[in-house]
Structure 1
Amino acid sequence: MDVTKVAEVRQRPERTSRGTAILVAMCFAVLSYALMQTMLVPTITTLQHELRTTAALTAWAVLSAPLLASAVLTPLIGKLGDHHGKRRVVVGVLVVYLVATLGALVSWNVGLLIAFRAVQGVSLGLLPLAFGVLREALPADRVASGLALASGLVGGSAGLGLVCGGLLVDYVSWRWLFAVGAVLVAVTLALVLRFVPESRERGGGRLDVPGALLLATSLTALLLALTQGPALGWTSPWVWGLFALAVLAFAVFLPVEKRTATPLIDPDLLVHRRILPTHLAAVALGAAQFVLFVLLPKFAETPRAGAVDYGFGVSVTAVGLIMLPGTLLVLPGSWLASRIDARVGPRVPLATGLGCVAAGAAALALWHGKIWQLVVFYAVASVGFGLVMAVLPRLVNAAVAPGQIATANGVNTVARTAGGAVGSQLGAAILASMPIAGSTIPGDTAYGFAFGAAALVALIGVGLVGFQVRGGRFAS
């Protein structure tokens, strides 16, 4: 046998082992973000009581503060990863994330908790960095399956986070959520330092400060308008002013980036026809996902009493168990997506996944009077979540140059996050507009319409995939 071939055979197990270690490290990074995203949802009532604060401020601590910070910081973190090395930026993000998590653990008032939760928003930046690391560091034949596994963990851990959060809040303390999170972040940091190599592919140039400020202004104004709309009223001048500021800042951002030698985000990464449908599909996924994610627990926890003729009055832990079968199906859905992708390309699992989300949401709109219906139909939608989330990074990576991968995935991640904000507020608006006569409690019909809206949004996403097929713009 040729000496070179013998050397290659001997090195193959080592490369395989190192690739597995890198994959494990990046999966821990994704998991450290995804679990903390949902474990706090069951704490809203407990936090309000123990910190002696209002429901509005508690909602900021649990959802709004990290959402705003992550949307603003993620594109910047992705750009830093492309310019200065993804491993270096991952380590920096994990250090900041760990400090913020420990700070949240010892917070003694809601103001401090909101501040530390906002700093925890850096964790969303781990997703595009992880996708970029996997694309560069894994052998070519393992990239698709690695991306599918990491992407599937984002959705797959959502229900697990609810179960863990419910159990810890019910039996120990909400502070244990941050203790568990800190341990997970610390383990991730150790794995990254030990196994993850530095990026070979780098972008060039200086950081685009004007672009960063304009994009931050646009995203902050948009998400503030969405999160404060229900409280201030959608016709409020403040809300309309925030929407106008978001549009104006983004309108200025695009020409500024076109004239900048080293833009924060190349405008083509936002609006080019090779990648725009992928971002819109991410928005559709996020919107449909969050309608179900926010409203299904609310529906199941509602007790039947008086004029309320729906709901099951179950605990938060029980809600997590209702959603757990669907959660467990997200990862198999991601694995299936990678197999389909390898045979026919990523557009088929993308369309199929959004179709599953639409089917599950439509079934929930029509039939939600039994607990088994919630379990089964949410499981159908969850398979779709896994399929879509697995192929979105694949489509992004295929559409951009290697030096732009983290930035482009950051944009796509923010698109899904913004879609989630739209979806949660869409669901809330539908419930508020259709109360039971003589009360402010939403009626059963309102939930049917909200689940139906999620199905419609997912179907629009399927249509976007059809546009991609006709255009034939994505490499497969």
Structure 2
Amino acid sequence: MTTARERSDAAGSRALIALVVAVFGYALMQTAVVPALKLLEVRLHATPTASAWILTAFLLSSAVLTPVLGRLGDQLGRRKVTLAVLVVYAIGMAAAAAAQNLGQLIAARVVQGAALALVPLSMAILREALPPERLPFAMGLVSGAVGADGGAGLIAGGLLADHLSWRYLFVLGTAIALVSLLLAARWVPAGTYVAASGTDVPGAVLLGGGLVAVLLALAKGPAWGWSSGRTLGLLALGLALFVALVAVERTRSDALLDVGELRDRPMLMTHAAAFLFGAGSYFFYLALPLYAQMPKAAGAGFGSTITVAGLLMLPGMLAVVPASMAVGRIARALGPRWPLAGGWTLFAAGSVLFVLAHDRMWQHAVFYTIVGCGTGLVIGSLPKLIADIVPLARTGTANGFNNIARTVGSAVGTALAAAVIASAGTGPPPDSTFTDLFWLATAAAALGIAVACFAARGGPAATAGPVTPVAEPVVGR
């Protein structure tokens, strides 16, 4: 006869499986469309500038909706919001599969952007559903799924783009979303904690507007010119909206943005680490597939197909998950900041190796595996550090902001990489261009090592309390 503890552990394991599958579907489809962009341009009769909105629309939607949905999960119940997000995501995927023109596809991608909220919602659900001793492993597994599947999406997208119609990308996404919805409906618990505060509409509007302005400037800056009036105007507008956001949030008891969290050094450094990771990882996402597909006659590259280019990154992607799951053991043995610092050290080591040599396929496979191990430790550390800092009632919101920091970092990394590649002029970029990109990844990792020293509060057994008390008492549902 099973005990109550065994039944609780089994229920927690089922919830973990459901959440990993849900996050898997989001992370896979986040990047699967990248290898198919050229194909989409041809099939939908679009210009490169117009087709870029397939990625930009998803990025903007994700950044705006994630903190709002994370907050709604804290207020209305994480299970309820998770199921709603999965329904919306499945609809967006099905709409993309049936799209008849570029406008319809971009609109579907805007709807799909809501799925990024699954990551902070999952972290909040796990913190409530699992005992403390299982939480680091579970958070590491979910984080590892985000990191590994984002890269795996490049492989899946390449295979489907090479051999089938682009519509199968979104058919696959629809199927995974429906399976995730079924599993979440059956296995994700309702939870017992909700925040008793109201909805911060002014904060959501200011935050969303500021993010749209900044991310749009970063996404279109390479095409418009960094000194153009449109780019500078959007950056100035975004900065003004963020200043207004801080001013408004200081006066509200139900603030979407807890200004006290941003004044807390460990929390601020955790968000900085997420930003740096977003930038550093995208240098590799753009550089490695491009290098592998360049013709050998260009003086750099392997002349590979999209599929082979993705397969060269596969060992590194597979290394992300076990590294993420090791975060809890490392933190217990050495202290809470060491998984993050160790992850950035491995990331830096792999980047330096790429700087020194990258003209052989085995080098790409081996060196990116080292980067993958560092990636797993970094992204597995972030939700654990946040769980050590914030109260339970703000877990979804805080993780949502951490994902925003990573999204903005990804936009910055993409813009920098595009500027480096464009500086090479027309035609295939020379080998020195890729060396510069690997140096940028090294610089991001070096900053990450410095940030990691301030991203936690104590030694091996440290468990930080919440930064600020919950504005209103946490109540049972």
TM-score of Structure 1 vs Structure 2, range by shorter chain: over 0.9
CA distance in 2, matches of 1:157, 1:440: 31
Residues in 1 aligned to 2:456 and 2:107: alpha-carbon distance in whole angstroms: 45
**CA apart distance, 1:13:** 2.5
CA separation in 1, counterparts of 2:458 and 2:15? 36
Q: CA deviation at 1:467?
A: 3.1
Deviations 1:258-283 (A, max 9, x none): 10121112112334223000000111
1:454 aligns with 2:452: no
Q: 1:471 offset after TM fit, Å?
A: 8.4
What 5-or-longer segments of structure 2 have no aligned partner? 465-477
Task: Write the distance in 2 (CA, Å) between the matches of 1:273 and 1:162.
Answer: 36
1:320 match: secondary structure: helix
Residue 361 (structure 1) shift: 1.3
Q: What is the root-mean-square deviation of aligned Cα atoms in Å?
A: 1.6
| Structure 2 residue identity aligned to 1:399 | I
More moved, 162-171 vs 370-379? 162-171
**1:322 Cα shift?**
0.3
**Which of 326, 331, 335 is matched with 1:336 structurally?**
326
Indicate how the Cα distance of structure 1 residues 471 and 277 shifts in structure 2: closer, same or farther if over 3 A, else same. farther
Is 1:297 matched up with 2:289? yes
1:210 and 2:202 aligned: yes
After superposition, what is the alpha-carbon deviation per residue over 1:207-232, rounded to whole angstroms, capped at 9, x for unaligned? 11111111011100110010000000
Matching residue of 1:232:
224
Q: CA–CA distance in 1 between the matches of 2:32 and 2:72?
A: 29
Shift of 1:345: 3.0
Q: What's 2:261 paired with? A: 269
Q: CA contact under 8 A between 1:283 and 1:420: conserved in structure 2? A: yes
Alignment check: 8 A CA contact 1:360 1:380 kept: yes
Q: In 2, Cα distance between the equivalents of 1:229 and 1:440?
A: 21
Q: Deviations over 1:127-186 (max 9, x none)?
A: 000010011001222111000000000011123222221112222211111111111111
Provide the C-alpha distance between the structure 1 equivalents of 2:348 and 2:211, rounded to a whole number of angstroms. 28
Aligned residue runs from structure 1 range 329-368, under 5 A: 329-368=319-358
| Residues in 2 aligned to 1:202 and 1:79: alpha-carbon distance in whole angstroms | 10
User: SS in structure 1 opposite 2:169?
Assistant: helix
SS at match of 1:275: helix
Match of 1:194 among 178, 183, 186: 186
Select the residue among 297, 310, 317 that pairs with 2:300: 310
Residue 109 of structure 2 aligns with which residue?
Answer: 117
The residue that corresponds to 1:407 in the other structure is 397
Higher alpha-carbon deviation: 341-350 or 274-283: 341-350
Deviations 1:300-357 (A, max 9, x none): 111123xx21111111100111000111111111122222123233310100101111
Aligned to 2:238: 246
Residue pair 1:431, 1:443 contacting (<8 A) in 2 also: no
Counterpart in the other structure of 1:257: 249
Q: TM-score, normalised by structure 2?
A: 0.94
In 1: Cα distance, 2:342 partner to 2:153 partner: 26
Q: 1:416-452 deviations in whole A, cap 9, x for unaligned?
A: 11111111111111222244xxx45422111101110
Name the CA shift for 1:256/1:230 in 2 (closer, same or farther; >3 Å): same
Change beyond 3 A, Cα 1:468–1:176: closer
Does the CA contact (< 8 Å) of 2:46 and 2:102 recur in 1? yes
Partner AA of 1:460 in structure 2: L
Q: Deviations over 1:31-63 (max 9, x none)?
A: 1110111111111111111111111222211x1
The equivalent of 1:176 in structure 2 is 168
Secondary structure of the 2:313 match is helix
SS state at 1:52 partner = coil
Letter of the aligned partner of 2:463 in structure 1?
A
In the alignment, the residues of structure 2 paired with residue 19 and residue 201 of structure 1 have an alpha-carbon distance, to the nearest angstrom, of 16
Deviation at 1:470, TM superposition (A): 8.3
Distance 1:150 1:207 in 2: 28
Question: What pairs up with 1:4-153 in 2 under 5 angstroms?
Answer: 10-61=3-54, 63-153=55-145
Quickly say closer, same or farther: Cα 1:468–1:142, change in 2 above 3 A.
Answer: closer
For residues 383-415 of structure 1, give each alpha carbon's deviation from its aligned partner in whole angstroms, at most 9, with x where no partner exists.
Answer: 011001111000011111110000000000110
Alpha carbons 2:267, 2:455 under 8 Å: kept: no
Report if aligned partners of 1:292, 1:361 keep a CA contact under 8 Å in 2. no
Work out the CA distance in 2 between the residues paired with 1:271 and 1:105. 44
- Please say if residues 65 and 118 of structure 1, whose CA atoms lie closer than 8 Å, have aligned partners that are also in contact: yes
CA distance in 1, matches of 2:85, 2:322: 29
Aligned 8 A contact 1:300 1:313 in 2: yes
Query: Structure 1 residues 80 and 370 mapped into 2: Cα distance closer, same or farther (>3 Å)?
Result: same
* One-letter identity of the residue aligned with 2:330: I
1:475 is aligned to: 463
Q: Aligned partners of 2:132, 2:328: CA distance in 1, in Å?
A: 13
Which of 440, 447, 466 is the matching residue for 2:453?
Answer: 466
Matched letter for residue 375 of structure 2: F
Verify the 8 A CA contact 1:288 1:423 in the aligned structure 2.
yes
Is the 1:432–1:440 Cα contact (8 Å) retained in structure 2?
no
Q: Secondary structure at the match of 2:453?
A: helix
Number of residues of Structure 1 aligned to a counterpart in Structure 2 = 463
Equivalent runs, 1:439-450 vs 2, <5 Å:
439-450=426-437
Deviates more, 1:316-325 or 1:334-343: 334-343
Q: Name the amino acid aligned to 1:26.
A: L
463-472 or 188-197: bigger deviation: 463-472
After the TM superposition, which of the residue ranges 165-174 and 77-86 deviates more from structure 2? 165-174
Q: Distance in 2 between matches of 1:257 and 1:364?
A: 44
Identity level (%): 43
1:453 corresponds to which letter in structure 2? Answer: L
Provide the TM-score with structure 1 as the length reference: 0.94
- C-alpha separation in 1, matches of 2:45 and 2:430: 30
Q: Check whether the contact 2:62–2:114 (CA below 8 A) recurs between aligned residues.
A: yes
2:263 and 2:24 mapped to 1: Cα distance? 30
